[in-house]
Structure 1
C-alpha cells in the first residue's frame, strides 16, 4: 500500500482515538500484531463507532484525489526541462476561446476580440474555419485558432516578430514562419472568394445603382486609387530611389478598386514605392483584362447617343480610358458642366480613399510594414482580404488612417491607348453634359 496513504490513515486514527477514547483501535494500530492493512481495515469495519468508518471513507477519497491529480507546473518543468511556456499560452487562449467566450455577452465578447485581433469573434471563427484545412496540412505544432490569433494580433497592432515572440513565449523565427504561412493562405486561398470583380448581373446592378445615388453618374462600378505602404526597413542591396515613395519613405505600391461599400474588388501589389500610379496600373492584371475585353460587363446604357458600359473612376494621376474616367481638371478651372462632372466623380472616389483609410486603420502593420520585402506583397493582400471580411460582416469602422493629399502631373497618353483615350474623352463629355442638364432643371 502507498506509504502516503498509510501515514494519512495513521493520523486519522490518532484523531479518532482523541475523539472516541473508549475504542481500542489506536492501541490495535500500534500493536505488533496489527501492522498489516488487512487487520487495520477489519478493525475499522467491525468497530461499533461510526467515526472510524467516516475517517476511512475520507482517507480513501483523499488518496484517490492525490493519485489522480496531474503534476504541478513546477514539477512538470523540473522533470521535463524541454517543456515550453508557450504550452501554457496555448492553454490560456483555448480556455478563453472555448469556455469563457460563450459566458460573455456578445457585445463585450466581440469588443474584446476586436481589441486583440482586429475583428469580432464570429468573423475570427470564420477565418479559422476556412484556413484550418490548409494549416492542418502544414504539420504546424500549434492549434489553428492559436496560429491565426497570433498572426491577427501582429497585423492589427503592427507588432514585430520579436515583440510577439516575447508575448506568446515562442521563438522569433517561428513567429515569422507562422506569419508567412497564414498571410500566404489568406492572399491565395481566400482571395478568390472575397475579392471579386462585380460581373454578375445582380451585383453589378447593385453597385452601379448605389454609385448613381451617390454621384448622379450612371453605370459607375468602382473607384481606383493607389497608396504606398511604408517599409520598416529596406534591404541594403536594393536601390533606395526605386522604392522611395512620393512621401519620401521606402515603400511598395498598393493599387485597389473599391465598390460603394468600401469593399475591394481588385488588389494589386506589383511595384516599388517609386512607381507612378499610371505605370502601376498598366503593369496590373486588371488593366490587361479590361483592355483585352476579358472582363465582360453585361450592362450598357445610352447617354446622348453614346453606349456607356460600366466604368471605374480615378484621379488625374490615372490615364483617361474607355473604362477609366478621370476629372477634366484638378483645380476646377473647366466649364460649368466639366466642374459638375469633376465634383461628382471625386465624390465617387471618396469610397476608395476611405477604404484605404480603413485598411490601414484596422491593420496597423501597414503603417510601418515590418516583414521581409519578399513577403510584403502577400502581407498587404492578406490585410485586404481581412478588410473585405470585416466590411461584409459590417464590423465597426475604426478611425481612418489619413494620408497627405496627392499631387503631380497627369500621365502622358501612350500610343497603344490612343483609341481608348478617344472613347473615354467622348464618354466623359457626354456624361458631363447630361449631368449638367439634369442638375439645371
Structure 2
C-alpha cells in the first residue's frame, strides 16, 4: 500500500511539473510573439514615416519647380495683365446734365423733367437694382437716362457707354430692361383698345375738327429699318431694297395711338399686314363699331376708320376713291377732306420718328429688341403727348405739323362731298 501511495504521489508531482513546464513554455512563446509583433509594428511605422518624408520631399520639390515656372512665366513670357474695369468718368451725367436747362434736357432726352420724374417713379419697381458686395449698382435715374438717350439719339452703344461712364453691356441691359418695363407697365395705361365711351368721344372729336362723322381713327403703316436678319432675310426686303419691319398703327383725332401691330416683314403690303393684325380680328368680330349708328346722307352708318388707297374697303374701313382720272368733282372733294383727316396719322408718325430717332435709322440691335424699342417709343409718344411735352421743330423734316389740305378747284359747298360720302357708304353696305 505504501508503495502504491508513493507511486501515486510521484505521478501527481510529475503531472504538476509537466503542466508548469507547459505553462512556462506557452508564456515564453507568447512573449516572443508580442515582441515580434511590436517589432513588426515599429518597422511599419518607420516605413510609413519614411514614405511620408519622401512624399513631403517630392511635394516640396514640385512646389519649388512650379514656383520657378510661374516666376519665369510672369517675368518673361506673360504679358502685363489687362484691367477688368476701365477707368471712366461720369462727369457728364453727374454734373453737366444736372445743370441742363429745360430746353437742353428736352433736346437730349426728348421728355420734360416732370415726365422723366414720372417715368422714374412708375418704373421704379421694375428697374430698381440693389448694391452687391462687389460693386455698386447703376442708379435708377441713370439707367432710365441711358435708355432715353439711346432711344432719342440712336447712338452706338460705345458712344452712350463713354458718355455715361458705364460698359457697353450695361447700356444694352439698361435699354432692354427699360423697354420691357415700359411695355409691361406703361403700355396698358396709355395704349388701349377704346371702349364704347371712348369711341364716341373720338368720333365727336373727328366730326368737330374735320367734319367727318362716325370716324374713330386713321390707320397707316411705316417701315422700321433693321439689321440683316440671319434667317428668312428675303422676307424682310421692302420695295426700296433694304430690310425692315412694319409698324401699323391707328390714331385718334389728337394723334394718340390706340392700336399697334409691330414686327411683320417689310415685304408685305398694307392690306396683308392689316388682315393678320389684331385690329382685323377685333373689328370683324366685335360689335363696338355698330354700338352707335348715325344717319349720314340717308344711310345708317356705324363707326369706321380712315385708311389710304392701299387698304381694302370694309364696313368699318373707309378709303379714298381711286385716282383714275374718272372721279367726279364731289369724289375729288371727298378725297381732299378725308386726306386732310387722314394726315393726323402721318403727323403722329412724323412726331414719333422725330422724337425717337432710334426707329428712323438702322441701329445695331436684334429684330426682337427693335420690336420692343418701337413699342416702347409708341408708348412714350402717347405719354409725351398726353403730358403736353414740347416737340421742337428741328426734330423732324416737317416739324411735326399737320400737312395742309391739298388744293382743290371745286367750290366747297359740301353737297358734292356728301354725295360722294353717300356713294361710298352704299358701297360699304354691299360688302
Same fold, judged at TM 0.5 (above): yes
Residue 137 of structure 2 is aligned to residue 146 of structure 1: no
- The SS at the match of 2:378 is helix
Residue-by-residue CA offset, 1:104-129 (whole Å, 9 max, x unaligned)? xxxx7321211110111111111111
Taking structure 1 as reference, are residues 243 and 207 closer, same or farther at Cα in structure 2, changes over 3 Å only?
same
Report the Cα offset of residue 163 of structure 1.
Answer: 1.7
Pick one of 390, 402, 427 that aligns with 2:384. Answer: 390
Aligned pairs for 1:389-428 (under 5 A) are 389-399=383-393, 400-401=396-397
- The SS at the match of 1:156 is helix
Report the Cα offset of residue 187 of structure 1.
Answer: 2.1
Task: For 1:307 and 1:323, locate their aligned partners in 2 and report how far apart those are by CA, in whole Å.
Answer: 13
Residue 116 of structure 1 is matched in structure 2 by 108
Task: For 2:240 and 2:425, locate their aligned partners in 1 and report how far apart those are by CA, in whole Å.
Answer: 37
Residue 334 of structure 1 is matched in structure 2 by 327
Residue 316 of structure 2 is aligned to residue 323 of structure 1: yes
Task: For 2:92 and 2:329, locate their aligned partners in 1 and report how far apart those are by CA, in whole Å.
Answer: 64
Residue 192 of structure 2 is matched in structure 1 by 196
Task: For 1:309 and 1:294, locate their aligned partners in 2 and report how far apart those are by CA, in whole Å.
Answer: 10
Pick one of 181, 187, 199 that aligns with 1:185. Answer: 181
Residue 9 of structure 1 is matched in structure 2 by none
- The SS at the match of 1:189 is helix
Report the Cα offset of residue 293 of structure 1.
Answer: 1.0
Residue 353 of structure 2 is aligned to residue 360 of structure 1: yes
Matched length: 319
Residue 165 of structure 2 is aligned to residue 169 of structure 1: yes
Check conservation: 2:191, 2:259, Cα contact below 8 A: yes
Runs of 4+ in 1 over 6 A off after TM superposition: 81-84, 137-140
Task: For 2:397 and 2:293, locate their aligned partners in 1 and report how far apart those are by CA, in whole Å.
Answer: 36
Task: For 1:283 and 1:392, locate their aligned partners in 2 and report how far apart those are by CA, in whole Å.
Answer: 29
Task: For 2:92 and 2:234, locate their aligned partners in 1 and report how far apart those are by CA, in whole Å.
Answer: 47
Give unpaired runs (5+ residues) of structure 2.
1-82, 399-418, 427-431
Task: For 2:205 and 2:423, locate their aligned partners in 1 and report how far apart those are by CA, in whole Å.
Answer: 17
Task: For 1:217 and 1:375, locate their aligned partners in 2 and report how far apart those are by CA, in whole Å.
Answer: 38
Task: For 1:339 and 1:355, locate their aligned partners in 2 and report how far apart those are by CA, in whole Å.
Answer: 25
Residue 130 of structure 1 is matched in structure 2 by 122
Taking structure 1 as reference, are residues 262 and 173 closer, same or farther at Cα in structure 2, changes over 3 Å only?
same
Residue-by-residue CA offset, 1:169-218 (whole Å, 9 max, x unaligned)? 222122111111101111232111011233252x4343222222333210
Aligned pairs for 1:14-413 (under 5 A) are 85=87, 89=90, 93=93, 109-136=101-128, 141-201=137-197, 203-231=198-226, 233-235=227-229, 237-293=230-286, 295=288, 298-330=291-323, 333-370=326-363, 371-399=365-393, 400-401=396-397
Taking structure 1 as reference, are residues 324 and 153 closer, same or farther at Cα in structure 2, changes over 3 Å only?
same
Check conservation: 1:358, 1:398, Cα contact below 8 A: no
Task: For 2:360 and 2:124, locate their aligned partners in 1 and report how far apart those are by CA, in whole Å.
Answer: 28
Task: For 2:181 and 2:164, locate their aligned partners in 1 and report how far apart those are by CA, in whole Å.
Answer: 22
Taking structure 1 as reference, are residues 228 and 292 closer, same or farther at Cα in structure 2, changes over 3 Å only?
same
Task: For 1:84 and 1:367, locate their aligned partners in 2 and report how far apart those are by CA, in whole Å.
Answer: 32
Task: For 1:401 and 1:264, locate their aligned partners in 2 and report how far apart those are by CA, in whole Å.
Answer: 21
Task: For 1:294 and 1:181, locate their aligned partners in 2 and report how far apart those are by CA, in whole Å.
Answer: 37
Residue-by-residue CA offset, 1:280-339 (whole Å, 9 max, x unaligned)? 111111111111116466432112443211111000111111111001113563122322
Task: For 1:255 and 1:135, locate their aligned partners in 2 and report how far apart those are by CA, in whole Å.
Answer: 29
Task: For 2:320 and 2:233, locate their aligned partners in 1 and report how far apart those are by CA, in whole Å.
Answer: 32
Check conservation: 2:270, 2:310, Cα contact below 8 A: yes
- The SS at the match of 1:190 is helix
Check conservation: 1:118, 1:362, Cα contact below 8 A: yes
Residue-by-residue CA offset, 1:409-429 (whole Å, 9 max, x unaligned)? xxxxxxxxxxxxxxxxxx975
- The SS at the match of 2:220 is strand
Task: For 2:196 and 2:291, locate their aligned partners in 1 and report how far apart those are by CA, in whole Å.
Answer: 8
Check conservation: 2:289, 2:304, Cα contact below 8 A: no
RMSD: 2.9
Report the Cα offset of residue 137 of structure 1.
Answer: 6.6
Taking structure 1 as reference, are residues 138 and 214 closer, same or farther at Cα in structure 2, changes over 3 Å only?
farther
Check conservation: 1:196, 1:265, Cα contact below 8 A: yes
TM-score (norm 2): 0.67
Task: For 1:327 and 1:208, locate their aligned partners in 2 and report how far apart those are by CA, in whole Å.
Answer: 19
